[in-house]
Structure 1
């Protein structure tokens, strides 16, 4: 591998340049005949698109978007599953110098509408089976300020566009807009724990950080067949399943099917996957359900992010695949910035170390000073020594931004805790921001609480995470009912369905407990730690 510090400087120089064009970096500079994406259906039937085809299709779509009024700096949302259509759409957005706003297809209309309003989206591109979520209703206005385009063959509603109609609009292919490194090209939303989701503007120069993880963390080479199972509506799948493979000119697999352990093994074997990345829940489920590993699987590298991989899962993976799982740490505001790093021999070096271009350390619990080795403290990024640091603040949320940085601006405070040994190795302990990490998704208690409070029977509620062997954590809720309302199984299921329809299928509380009151501090803040069962 190349000298890390020099390589980081080279990427920064390229991606911070004022003439930088995202479409050029992710598509146009690569060999036209090289395969960019292999989309795999649930029947294992593949469809491929080369960088040349990707360039042509995204240019035609960009021309149609421009005819529809999309311009540089505008926000365009996607409510789409993995695959070629999403890749073409994202590149079309970036050709115009516009900003991509990814939306999770499991979101309910209320969650979608919030993100559309917050981003000021001008256009929403959605899969045909998602169109109904954008229909006028309680959360979606009748006169929505955004237009809609779908993957359907014909418009599904009056005034709709389709990808085909936009691509065939006949406008001249626009010259890729040079935005420079400081302009945002993505706006993601990260779940809040004490308020609504916050928007994270991702500037073009963040590509240097994404490329660093792709190269030094995932260790992907030109000969690899790479598959990241994470959904591209979430940052691990977006940054490193969609963006970084295109940036590096590497083919990626995109499976258009829900997770199934047997199907996962079939994809690994059929397509000769050599470099595999997934959330810990994928490895846990494979361990729990797979009895015999197919002999024709030849994965040389396994990676994981989102939460820590337990030692028993690491041991199982070593036995099952013959390689260890590289455990990586990051956040939507950073990307992956630390973790196990591969060596040229297929092993690991510097487990728990910051990646090149990052200085990640541990601060004292109550002071913005580095903690002595072995002391449990707050994980922080030294912005003065981290050239890859790109996050500057949340969109329209100065108060939320302020608590992320020390008063002098030197430290970015992650909200997580860890220890650091004398050699700089990090051992992560807990999250202290109350976020729930379930099946690879980050769920903020606020979103689920807001959905539950929409039910007329609920007076108060507190949402928290409980340990789960397969999912890592499950969403749980303690609920105070209004006077005169009786608890019961029917009401429990009603509350779960309320969360499904008001927020998202992935976040409904699997455990609901009815209580007379919630534990609170003298200032009235809910003490979620007292709601979790005590162990030991």
Structure 2
């Protein structure tokens, strides 16, 4: 049977949902107005934190002015409503300004993760039809081979050009059904597919910020996820803008020491991150006596050691939440007082207001007809893949994740229905890594799987059948690891490379990756 969060049926909750739907789903919806211009211009939108803990606030007034000027420059560069603009940039001021400038024009943002190598960047740029990329100096070399693209590089020269532009007037209103973002996600076969995120999706992002995370005006909120991926983009950039809540953006990679330093220096009260961050904090042994008001996790299930450790170290339990790129967070251990219930061990909670979920044939599904905040309707230019996500009658969205639900409506994640690897909250498709490794002349066949890892949840492992006459060696393993770093992405390289005599296969020739994940497979070291 379908399950909705019964406490979400309060009239006040329903009224709030309808208010968000009306604002973000209107035919006259203007993203720049909804995300920036309607807010108090003196209010702080983001605080940008550097590795040395120096910080700079960006107010909504400053964001409005800078993005209007950059929008003028982008328009002079040929960007118009409906065009795709790729952005390859870390968590810096120019990132947010660029996104607002794109949306002022009614254009579409194509996120690029800064750990991507040139081939992964090129695939997303070509597939999206983007002709312009905005980047930063540290990423510029990756774009050099793509010499047919127009590239704008953040820095003094671009700042001078932007400052000399007249601010754009009225922003383009594209309506709630029009795309705001094309965010690429990987599957187990074929190239990654583009998820068109429409303006009306902001209603579901606002709902999660309010009811799932319970971010209030008095909070010092910090979503530590990278905005090159869904959780960081949806709830580190869009959600805060949609609800007028400030977020901290740390322009540095994760370390336990830097995270603890930010907690203390800025007085963080509401924190959201992937489980790998909490694992790193726990392993450091340095986190103790904090007093967070809220702590939330998403990307992969929390393990019992983290849930047991958190209250003493962070001052609050960590609540697990579940979602996907295709729809954002949909099942949560909600923090908002109107919905908060005791956490059931191992559960990812109950449906977020605006969503109804169930379990069919052992898989978690969403009831599209009873989920007013559901916004995903299909992948861009991929009707076959879209059809795989819905039942023939269109009622049920198929997450592809195995799970269960108890009699009280608490959902439990069991496993993925495919071979996607969840490493530190990032979804890695074996096919993408295998495609790179297969280009090496020493590789005859290759299969990639995920293996459990205490810190990252899972890590990538590669099983390689070598070409005739080639011998495996540590040097060759290192060479293959580097090939993935430079040919696909720095975060997705195989931590271990096994040279095997053969890969286990079905009679029809399909690789049985689940056997490779088990101990004692013939041919496995």
TM range (shorter): over 0.9
Cα offset for 1:339? Answer: 1.6
The residue number in structure 1 matching 2:492 is 507
* Residue 37 (structure 2) pairs with residue 52 (structure 1): no
2:210–2:336 contact (8 Å) kept in structure 1: no
Mind listing any 5+ residue stretches in structure 2 that lack a counterpart?
1-9, 521-525
Following superposition of structure 1 onto structure 2, how do residues 353-372 of structure 1 map, counting pairs within 5 Å? 353-364=350-361
Following superposition of structure 1 onto structure 2, how do residues 143-162 of structure 1 map, counting pairs within 5 Å? 144=148, 146-154=149-157, 162=158
Question: What do the CA deviations read for 1:492-525 (whole angstroms, capped 9, x no partner)?
Answer: 0000000000001100000111112211112222
Following superposition of structure 1 onto structure 2, how do residues 168-207 of structure 1 map, counting pairs within 5 Å? 168-207=163-202
* Residue 290 (structure 2) pairs with residue 300 (structure 1): no
Tell me how large the CA RMSD over aligned residues is.
1.5
Question: What do the CA deviations read for 1:66-98 (whole angstroms, capped 9, x no partner)?
Answer: 111100000011100012110100000000000
Q: Paired residues, what number? A: 507
- The 2-side partners of 1:208 and 1:389 are apart by 10
- The 2-side partners of 1:55 and 1:212 are apart by 24
Q: Secondary structure at the match of 1:408?
A: coil
* Residue 25 (structure 2) pairs with residue 32 (structure 1): no
1:123–1:148 contact (8 Å) kept in structure 2: yes
The residue number in structure 2 matching 1:476 is 461
* Residue 381 (structure 2) pairs with residue 387 (structure 1): no
The residue number in structure 1 matching 2:481 is 496
Q: Secondary structure at the match of 1:455?
A: coil
- The 2-side partners of 1:459 and 1:256 are apart by 41
Cα offset for 1:280? Answer: 0.1
1:19–1:179 contact (8 Å) kept in structure 2: yes
- The 2-side partners of 1:251 and 1:383 are apart by 32
Following superposition of structure 1 onto structure 2, how do residues 109-120 of structure 1 map, counting pairs within 5 Å? 109-120=118-129
| 1:241–1:65 Cα change, 3 Å | same
Cα offset for 1:171? Answer: 4.2
* 2:115 maps to which of 106, 114, 132: 106
The residue number in structure 1 matching 2:18 is 9
Following superposition of structure 1 onto structure 2, how do residues 204-219 of structure 1 map, counting pairs within 5 Å? 204-219=199-214
- The 2-side partners of 1:196 and 1:404 are apart by 16
1:448–1:499 contact (8 Å) kept in structure 2: yes
The residue number in structure 2 matching 1:310 is 303
The residue number in structure 2 matching 1:427 is 412
- The 2-side partners of 1:349 and 1:14 are apart by 32
Cα offset for 1:336? Answer: 0.3
Question: What do the CA deviations read for 1:150-188 (whole angstroms, capped 9, x no partner)?
Answer: 01334xxxxxxx3542x1353451311101010001010
Q: Secondary structure at the match of 1:337?
A: strand
* 1:450 maps to which of 435, 443, 446: 435
Cα offset for 1:347? Answer: 6.0
Following superposition of structure 1 onto structure 2, how do residues 336-347 of structure 1 map, counting pairs within 5 Å? 336-344=329-337
2:464–2:497 contact (8 Å) kept in structure 1: yes
Q: Secondary structure at the match of 1:233?
A: coil
- The 1-side partners of 2:287 and 2:460 are apart by 31
Q: Secondary structure at the match of 1:507?
A: coil
Question: What do the CA deviations read for 1:173-214 (whole angstroms, capped 9, x no partner)?
Answer: 131110101000101000121111111000111011101100
| 1:2–1:221 Cα change, 3 Å | farther
Question: What do the CA deviations read for 1:309-354 (whole angstroms, capped 9, x no partner)?
Answer: 1111011001112211110000000100002011439964576100
The residue number in structure 1 matching 2:3 is none
Cα offset for 1:401? Answer: 0.8
The residue number in structure 2 matching 1:371 is none
The residue number in structure 1 matching 2:265 is 270
Q: Secondary structure at the match of 2:333?
A: strand
1:64–1:169 contact (8 Å) kept in structure 2: no
The residue number in structure 2 matching 1:412 is 397
The residue number in structure 1 matching 2:510 is 525
The residue number in structure 2 matching 1:81 is 90
- The 1-side partners of 2:101 and 2:375 are apart by 24
- The 2-side partners of 1:6 and 1:441 are apart by 35
* 2:283 maps to which of 288, 297, 300: 288
- The 1-side partners of 2:284 and 2:343 are apart by 32
Q: Which stretch shifts more, 4-13 or 239-248?
A: 4-13
The residue number in structure 1 matching 2:421 is 436
2:213–2:336 contact (8 Å) kept in structure 1: no
The residue number in structure 2 matching 1:222 is 217
- The 1-side partners of 2:155 and 2:44 are apart by 25
The TM-score, its normalising length taken from structure 1, stands at: 0.92
The residue number in structure 2 matching 1:97 is 106
The TM-score, its normalising length taken from structure 2, stands at: 0.94
- The 2-side partners of 1:459 and 1:214 are apart by 48
The residue number in structure 2 matching 1:374 is none
* Residue 324 (structure 2) pairs with residue 327 (structure 1): no
- The 1-side partners of 2:185 and 2:483 are apart by 21
The residue number in structure 2 matching 1:157 is none
- The 1-side partners of 2:439 and 2:36 are apart by 45
2:291–2:316 contact (8 Å) kept in structure 1: no
- The 1-side partners of 2:52 and 2:169 are apart by 37
Cα offset for 1:251? Answer: 0.8
- The 2-side partners of 1:232 and 1:399 are apart by 28
The residue number in structure 1 matching 2:238 is 243
